[in-house]
Structure 1
Amino acid sequence: MKTVLITGCSSGIGLDAAHHMRGRGWRVIATCRREEDLEARRAEGFDAIHLELGDDDSVARAAEAALALGRIDALVNNAAFAIPGAAEDLPRGALRSIFEANLFGTHDLTRRMLPHFRQHGGRVVNISSVLGLVGIPWRGAYVATKFALEGLTDVLRVEMSDTPVKFVLIEPGPIGTKIRQNSIPHFERWIDWQSSARADQYRNTLIKRLYDAAGRKDRFQLPPSAVSARIAQALESANPRPRYYVTTPSYISGIGRRLFSTRALDWFARRN
């Protein structure tokens, strides 16, 4: 039985992937931030470990606890959060907080696993986003972290090609998760939208969408299981692809970056 460590298993993609990979015969070590989510995963039969990616000590303890459970064959870096808002309204602290979790903590955890993977062989699957391919309004903080994750993963894939460790990117588009709802506390903490030069735009667009209690479904949206299927491919293929797209917008964006001009991509971003 192979073992995979998956971060961000409180809900959404991480939780679905944990169940999906266990259903395929894998042992799953699931990480969560909140104690109630850890208890829920343990009640479901998972090994569950606390992980706060923005905390250096938490990352070190989580890696140590995971490795103490025995051989680990793969790491799926899924945990991340968003801070919606216009880029001009993002204070330095907001960018620092989101990079600590979405990039720095993710990289720290990966580095701590690499000596084990070098010895036994291993696979690192980084969950990026269509927003690691193209930038769209109101998502500047999240886009910045995913562009950075894409570049870092590309370099690691090349640098580690002389080792038994493989790096894979998965780039989902709109997926039915709680990321929008979970971003509200971060938005309320960091974005002073009422004082923004774009206050009317916030009021007429982002605010309505962010606080939409009904959770309006995005066009082309797929369930988390669509990402889990790609994670399984990335983990089980003898020679995995460097990238796996999920949802139509990801395919369009990937092709568009190769074929269209920057002006054309900007036009697309403004309309979407």
Structure 2
Amino acid sequence: MNQSLPLTKILPPANILITGCSTGIGYQCAKQLHEMGYKVIATCRQQDDVTRIKSEGITCIQLDLANSQSIEFALKQVLLETNGKIDALFNNGAFGLPGAVEDLSREAMEYQFQTNVFGTQELTNAVVKIMRKQGYGKILYNSSILGFAAMQYRGAYNASKFAIEGFADTLRLEIKQDNIQVSLIEPGPILSDFRKNAFAQFKRWISIDDSAHKEKYQAMVSRLETVGPSAPFTLGPEAVTKCVIHALQHDKAKIRYRVTVPTIVFAYLKRILPTSWLDFLLIKAGGDGKR
């Protein structure tokens, strides 16, 4: 299991670009790698978060993955900080937009994909060209258990992570000859502000009173408002950082890092169970929106 991955002392790659560092996984990863001696370039969407992280001595740049101009401008700043090189990229920036699939407007789906998929891959494509010129690089995508096992009322997020897995798997085949490694990290439940941020998106995009899923939404709202773990086997964000460190410090990073017991279990069950049985277990695991 990932908890037993060996850690070595340091380097290379010497520098790493990390998206989505305001809180949770991105923040914890940026902070720990910085303390270890890596040249970390963190990014956040909000300037207040950029200022806060800079005050901790970590290089931080404003980047909105939903905006192509922001991506282009931020990448220029990153290259100034790293003398034109990017040894590793950790695509962590993402958010969840809960709601039944039938309640998702086209605008809501586009909003989810702008950051989680389109912006993430736009940045990655630009970084690939830099890595190819320098002759090496490592690209890590923070996916999810929901990137291969769909659960109810998470349709937009499920689809965005399924898409990321498809891009990552294809990219890995296309750039293997360029000495650029591509890895997926697939966390299950992790302590973060993810639920709080998802609840804000739910209130913005979903009309509870007009939905056939109104009763289920009431249970889901209780989960989104919960402080602390709302699902069994929840781990802290350091569990993901441990996988990032392993990928950085080993000549051959793993193609997939499965984090938390649910991810490991469902990855196995998906291989051996009929789809109808897996559906039953996924409904149970999701608790009709309660978990």
Counterpart of 1:265?
278
Counterpart of 1:202?
217
* Deviation by residue 1:47-75 (Cα, 9 ceiling, x = unmatched): 11101111111111111111122222100
- Aligned Cα root-mean-square deviation (Å): 1.1
Moved over 6 A (4+): none
Counterpart of 1:77?
91
Partners in 1 of 2:192 and 2:258 — Cα distance? 17
* Deviation by residue 1:73-114 (Cα, 9 ceiling, x = unmatched): 100000000011111111111110010100000000011111
Counterpart of 2:18?
6
State percent identity of aligned pairs. 39
Counterpart of 2:124?
110
Partners in 2 of 1:102 and 1:183 — Cα distance? 13
Contact preservation (8 Å) 2:223, 2:230: no
Counterpart of 1:235?
248
Q: Does 1:27 align with 2:39?
A: yes
Letter in 2 for 1:166: Q
Q: Cα offset for 1:216?
A: 4.3
Q: Write out aligned runs for 1:1-272 (5 A).
A: 2-69=14-81, 70=83, 71-120=85-134, 121-203=136-218, 205-212=219-226, 214-272=227-285
Structure 2 residues not aligned, in runs of 5+: 1-11, 286-291
Letter in 2 for 1:225: E
Structure 1 residues not aligned, in runs of 5+: none
Contact preservation (8 Å) 1:89, 1:193: no
TM-score, normalization: structure 2?
0.90
Partners in 2 of 1:216 and 1:49 — Cα distance? 30
Q: Cα offset for 1:185?
A: 2.0
Partners in 2 of 1:113 and 1:64 — Cα distance? 11
* Deviation by residue 1:158-182 (Cα, 9 ceiling, x = unmatched): 1111102110000000000000001
Q: Cα offset for 1:265?
A: 1.0
Aligned residues: 270
* Deviation by residue 1:248-268 (Cα, 9 ceiling, x = unmatched): 011011111211111111011
3-state SS in 1 of match to 2:175: helix
Letter in 1 for 2:100: A
* Deviation by residue 1:228-258 (Cα, 9 ceiling, x = unmatched): 0001111211011110000001101111121
* Deviation by residue 1:157-215 (Cα, 9 ceiling, x = unmatched): 01111102110000000000000001122111110111101112212x11211223x34
